[in-house]
Amino acid sequence: MTPELKQRIDDIINNDKIVVFMKGTKLMPMCGFSNNVVQILNMLGVPFQTFDVLSDEEVRQGIKEYSGWPTIPQVYVNGEFIGGSDIMIELYQKGELQQMVEVALAS
């Protein structure tokens, strides 16, 4: 990964408390897994930003290397990689996600 791409991804992640790298946008998810993540965050009623990896092939490939996670979507809270769709569902069902985002938004 080039230093420029790493800096670009850093900037995207650190620009907002909750960032989702996904296929499509929060208004129009382009895959079921991305839609799952958007629905969970909408249910929590928290502000979040999305980055459409379909619009930028460099970021689409780079984010996988950046996180060491092979799939999209990828969720970051307070600059920390949380996981993808399955992990978000699991954290939501356990009640841990709500707590995590409350702490992030309060900081």
Domains along the chain with CATH numbers:
3-106 (3.40.30.10)
Q: State the first-to-last Cα distance of the chain, in angstroms, to the nearest integer.
A: 30
Q: Which residues of the chain have pLDDT under 50?
A: none
pLDDT at 18: 96
Query: C-alpha 23: how far from its chain's center?
Result: 11
pLDDT at 101: 93
pLDDT at 107: 82
CA angle 90, 14, 67 (to 5 degrees): 50
CB atoms within 10 A of CB 45: 8
How is residue 9 annotated by DSSP? Answer: H
Query: Do 37 and 50 touch, CB atoms closer than 8 A?
Result: no
**What kind and span of H or E run contains 35?**
helix 32-44
* Pair of tokens at residue 66: 């950046």
